[in-house]
Amino acid sequence: MEYCGGGDLGSLIKHYGSLPETVTRRFFRQLASAIQYMRAMNVAHMDLKPQNILLTNRHKPSIKVSDFGLSQYLKKNEQASSFRGSPLYMAPEIFCGEPYDGRVDLWSCGVILYECLYGMPPFSAKTYGELVKQILSQQSISFPVNVRLSCVCLDLLQALLVRNPYDRITFERFFTHPFVDLIKLPFSAELDKADSYIRKSQQAESQDNLAEATKLLSSAMQIYINCLELFDEGKEKEKFREKIKAYLKHAENMKEHLRPVIHELPLSQSLGETEWNDWPQVRAAYLVAHTAHDLQRHEQWNEALEKYTLAIESVMHVLRNENRGTERAIKLQRKVSRWLSEAERIKNYMQIMDDDCETSMNDADEAEKQLNQITGNKQCIVS
C-alpha cells in the first residue's frame, strides 16, 4: 500500500474554502484517469468522495483514490441493487431501491467537482430524510453565481449532476469532455505519437511548407502539454517542460514567417479602371478590396477576409455576365485571382494562429503556480 502524506481532498477544501478552477481541473483530470482505469477493469467504486481522494504529499501533490470497500466488480451494462455509498455523494438511483450501474460514480464526480469549486456540496440538510428528499427532488440544482467558471467547466458540472442516469453524461463523453480531455492512448504511446508529429513537422519545414510544419508542431505540443502533468515532479519533468517551451518558441518563429506580407497599393488599383464605368458594381468591389488591404495593414485579419470575400463575390457575379475573352474581363480575372490569393493567405494564417498552444502552456503553468500557493506557502492539513 502506498503512503500518502498530504492528507485528503476533503481536508484541503475545508481548509481553503474552495479551490481555483485551474487547480480543480488538475486534480479532477487525475480522478477521471483513475475512473477510466477502474472502468477498464470493470470496477465501479460506488463511494467516491473527497475524503477518499488522498494527496500523495504536501508539495505539488497528485491524487490517489482510496477505500474500495464498497466497490463492486461490474461488467459494462451490469447492474447492482444493494444500498451503498456515503449519502451526500450518492446518486439518486441508489436511494430509489432500483438496480443501478457504474454511472453512480459519474454523479459522485459531479458532487466532488461542485464541492471543489464552490467549497460546499450541492445539498445540505440537518437530517438524513431531508437530504434524501433534496437529492430525489425534481427541483433544479443551484449553481452559485459569485464564482466565475469557464463555460466548459460549468457544462461538465451540469452534465454530471443529472438525476436521471439515462440522461446523465456517458463515460465516453466524460473522458473526452474538454474539461477532462484524457489522452486516448497509453502515456508512452501518446508521446510516441507526438514525436512522430515533430518528425513530420521537421520534414515539412525542410520542404518550405511552413503552414503544414506549424500545424504538425502545434498538434505535437498539445499532446506534450496534456502529458506534462502526468510526469512526477523532478528533473525529468523540468527537462520535458523546457523541451516544450523550446518547440513553442520555434512554432512562434514559423508563424511569424507566415504572417501575410503587406505591399503598398498604387492609388489606381483602389479606384478601379475607367473601362468599368458602366459597371458600378466592379468599381465598388475595388473600393471594398482596398478597404480589405488597409485592414490587413492593421492586422485585422477577420475583417480583411470578410472584405476580400465580399469583393470577390461581387466581381464573380459580374464576370458571369461578361464575355470572358475580352481584355477587360481577363484583366478583372487576374485581379480576382490576386484577391483570392490574399484571402487564402489570411485564412491559412488565421487557422494557424488558432492553434494557440502558448495559451495551453500558460494555463498549465498557472495551475502549477496556484497549486504551489495552496500547498507550498501554507502548511497542508493532514486529516
Task: List the catalytic residues.
Answer: 47
**8 Å CB contact between 104 and 85:** yes
Determine phi and psi for 310, rounding to 5 degrees: -65, -45
**8 Å CB contact between 301 and 349:** yes
Tell me the residue ranges of DSSP E strands in 125-255: none
**8 Å CB contact between 161 and 107:** yes
Q: How, if at all, do strands 63-65 and 43-44 pair?
A: unpaired
CA atoms of 234 and 227, how far apart (whole Å): 15
CA atoms of 258 and 358, how far apart (whole Å): 17
**8 Å CB contact between 296 and 341:** no
CA atoms of 315 and 130, how far apart (whole Å): 70
CA atoms of 132 and 119, how far apart (whole Å): 21
Which three cell numbers, joined as nine digits, stand for 273?
479602371
Q: Residue 55 pairs with which residues in a beta bridge?
A: 63
Distances (CA, A) of 44 to 26, 37, 375: 22, 10, 30
Q: Residue 100 pairs with which residues in a beta bridge?
A: 80
Tell me the residue ranges of DSSP E strands in the chain: 43-44, 53-55, 63-65, 72-73
Which three cell numbers, joined as nine digits, stand for 345?
493567405
CA atoms of 186 and 351, how far apart (whole Å): 29
Task: State the angle between helix axes of 21-40 and 151-160 in degrees (0 to 180), rounded to the nearest 10.
Answer: 40
